[in-house]
A and B are shown apart, each in its own frame.
Chain A
Amino acid sequence: MITINNVNKVFYQGDKAIHALSEINLSIAEGSIFGVIGSSGAGKSTLIRCVNLLERPTSGQVIVDGTDLTALSKQDLTQARRKIGMIFQHFNLLSSRTVFHNVALPLELAGLSKKDIKAKVEGLLTLVGLADKRDTYPANLSGGQKQRVAIARALASDPKVLLCDEATSALDPATTQSILALLRKINKELNLTILLITHEMAVVKGICEEVAIIGDGKLVENGKVGDIFAHPKTALARDFIRSTLDLTIPEDYQARLQPTQIENSFPLIRLEFTGASVDSPVISHVAREFNIDISILSSNMDYVGGVKFGLMLAEFLGPNDAAEQAIQYLKDNKVELEVLGYVA
């Protein structure tokens, strides 16, 4: 449904060229929900804006539903955009229009009659669950309600594709989930292809079938969500996944941390479980086998696409050699680990 071929985008700041996107290739199947994830400044916003040519790529092609948008005239592009819905982080609703008239806007632009507009808008407001808010102004809505209005507006012209530009980033976790549920519903009911960009792992995990990781303007990896998270192939993808899990050493531990082992100190270890790790209860096994105690400081484990992965911070309490053996055992079982230091 969406094909992105060798897209490059270069911005100029004075004489300095900034490569916001380099050699992006992506293909998104009809009816799928595709996520692009990356940290801020990675170029994901530029990428999604290139799909409806809000940002014109410096080179490359963007093909949506069989039409090469980069080859269209201004007039034809305007028409083509009516088949591509878009929602935004800050909703971008018109403050001067009520909910009803906001949703009606794309239909007015297309020149529909008042009667047709009314029927269509009322149907859409029911779909997004805001039929009772039709005469309210956006200023009196909550963030989640605003995004629902924006979704109804984006769907008004029966698009085949919906672009979501950080659509849940300004919402709290509960509201995010309800918006994601709505997106999943319209994806199913309308067979809508959804491309979303986000920096939130939860969003990708929540609804995407496929994901691409973008870093520094380059697409570093893409594939099925479970595969990417469980078996990241590149260092960048791994760093990114690790950064979303984010395990920092508590401050009081940091203060007591020694680089070398002294008497009565125990190793503080970061364990990283990936898709390659042996799928057995290794922690309790290690404790029993080597007769050590394991004190878990913090952990962030996740389960996506049938694979467990995540990070854990733990102290191994026991005799020196036992801890050493335990570490070796875990390494043999493909648990990545790093001794961060010794805590007295």
Chain B
Amino acid sequence: MSLNALTLWWSENTRLIELLWDSLGQTLAMVFSSGFIGFALGIPLGVLLHLSKKNGLLENVAFNKILGIVVNVGRSVPFIILLVALIPVTRFLVGTSIGTAAAVVPLTIGAIPFIARLVEGALLEVPSGLVEAAQAMGAKPLQIIMKVLLPEALPGIINAVTITLVTLVGYSAMAGTVGGGGLGDVGIRYGYQRFDGTVMMITVVILVLLVQIIQSVGDHLVKRVDHR
């Protein structure tokens, strides 16, 4: 395709470009707002899972079991079902069950247990000797969490953030089913249902680029904070 052909295509398809631009914005809004709320709730949950474990800092086996089951249930429900099942909750929280803001609710709830398990895994990699050393120097539990566990697990947590955001990009495509919009929705409606191969291709390419960017930024940050 020469430059001329490209500019011609561009001028003939301003509506499509506008649509893609808007849907990219919707995708980003869904991914990052559900990601942000997801981390705000998922990271503490992951910390709780880690601490309440047997031989953990705040051992409480019964609590850990219950929390574990809740998290597992959350993780085992297929996202597409969660999306529909949560409609009443969404309506209660957002006032409507349709639109980008409404899609954030199931995305967030789907992301929380996912993040919690990833964070739990990252914390597990912190050598127990470090916690012990902190205890020996008279650190209170909250100090151990804030000054030892989380900073030491930071590379793992950033990795978890990256994985979660990439997964959310995929999930956000499904959010089209509740009118959430986004690139996935455009791909399905304009590309698949109207047999428009070009649109389908463009949305896929944008999604690939988005995932690449998230992954690269994540990898870069991990490298910067990892001094192990």
Residues of A within 8 A of B (CB): 52, 54, 78-82, 84-86, 88, 90, 92, 94-97, 105-106, 108-110, 137-139, 153-154, 157, 163
* A94 contact from B140, B143, B152, Cβ within 8 A: B152
Contact B138 A96 (CB under 8 A): no
> Closest CB of chain A to B224's CB: distance in Å?
12
Take A81-B136, A86-B137, A92-B130 as given contacts and tell me if A109 and B143 are in contact as well, using a CB distance cutoff of 8 Å.
yes
**CB of B78 within 8 Å of the partner chain:** no
- Complex formed: what's the CA distance from A73 to B140 in Å? 13
Take A54-B132, A95-B152, A96-B152 as given contacts and tell me if A81 and B138 are in contact as well, using a CB distance cutoff of 8 Å.
yes
> Closest CB of chain A to B167's CB: distance in Å?
26
Take A54-B132, A88-B129, A109-B143 as given contacts and tell me if A95 and B137 are in contact as well, using a CB distance cutoff of 8 Å.
no
- Complex formed: what's the CA distance from A107 to B155 in Å? 25
18 A/B residue pairs, CB under 8 Å, sorted by A? A54-B132, A81-B136, A81-B137, A84-B136, A85-B137, A90-B127, A92-B132, A92-B133, A94-B148, A95-B228, A105-B134, A106-B137, A109-B134, A109-B139, A109-B143, A153-B137, A154-B137, A157-B137
**CB of B154 within 8 Å of the partner chain:** yes
* A139 contact from B135, B151, B227, Cβ within 8 A: B227
**CB of B206 within 8 Å of the partner chain:** no
Take A95-B152, A96-B225 as given contacts and tell me if A109 and B137 are in contact as well, using a CB distance cutoff of 8 Å.
yes
For the complex of A and B, list the 3 residue pairs with the smallest distance between their C-beta atoms, beginning with the closest: A82-B138, A92-B133, A81-B138
**CB of B54 within 8 Å of the partner chain:** no
Contact B137 A96 (CB under 8 A): no
Contacts of A137 in B (CB 8 A): 227
* A96 contact from B133, B140, B227, Cβ within 8 A: B227
Take A94-B148, A96-B151, A137-B227 as given contacts and tell me if A105 and B129 are in contact as well, using a CB distance cutoff of 8 Å.
no
Contact A157 B127 (CB under 8 A): no
Contacts of B130 in A (CB 8 A): 92, 94
Contacts of A96 in B (CB 8 A): 151-152, 154, 225, 227
* B136 contact from A79, A86, A110, A139, Cβ within 8 A: A86
Chain B contact surface mostly: helix
> Closest CB of chain A to B124's CB: distance in Å?
15
Chain A proximity mask over B13-35: 1 for CB below 8 Å, otherwise 0 = 00000000000000000000000
Contacts of B143 in A (CB 8 A): 109
Contacts of B140 in A (CB 8 A): 78, 109
> Closest CB of chain B to A166's CB: distance in Å?
12
Contact B227 A105 (CB under 8 A): no
**CB of B194 within 8 Å of the partner chain:** no
Contact A92 B227 (CB under 8 A): no
- Complex formed: what's the CA distance from A95 to B152 in Å? 7
Chain A proximity mask over B138-172: 1 for CB below 8 Å, otherwise 0 = 11100100011001101000000000000000000
- Complex formed: what's the CA distance from A80 to B134 in Å? 13
> Closest CB of chain A to B141's CB: distance in Å?
9
- Complex formed: what's the CA distance from A137 to B226 in Å? 10
> Closest CB of chain A to B222's CB: distance in Å?
12
Contact A94 B138 (CB under 8 A): no
- Complex formed: what's the CA distance from A82 to B137 in Å? 5
Contacts of A138 in B (CB 8 A): 227
Contacts of A95 in B (CB 8 A): 152, 227-228
Contacts of A92 in B (CB 8 A): 127, 129-130, 132-133
Contact A78 B133 (CB under 8 A): no
15 further A-B contacts with Cβ under 8 Å, apart from A88-B129, A105-B137, are A81-B136, A82-B138, A84-B136, A86-B137, A92-B129, A92-B130, A94-B130, A94-B152, A96-B225, A97-B151, A106-B138, A108-B147, A109-B134, A109-B147, A163-B136
> Closest CB of chain B to A323's CB: distance in Å?
55
Contact A139 B228 (CB under 8 A): yes
> Closest CB of chain A to B154's CB: distance in Å?
6
- Complex formed: what's the CA distance from A52 to B133 in Å? 11
* A81 contact from B135, B147, B148, Cβ within 8 A: B135
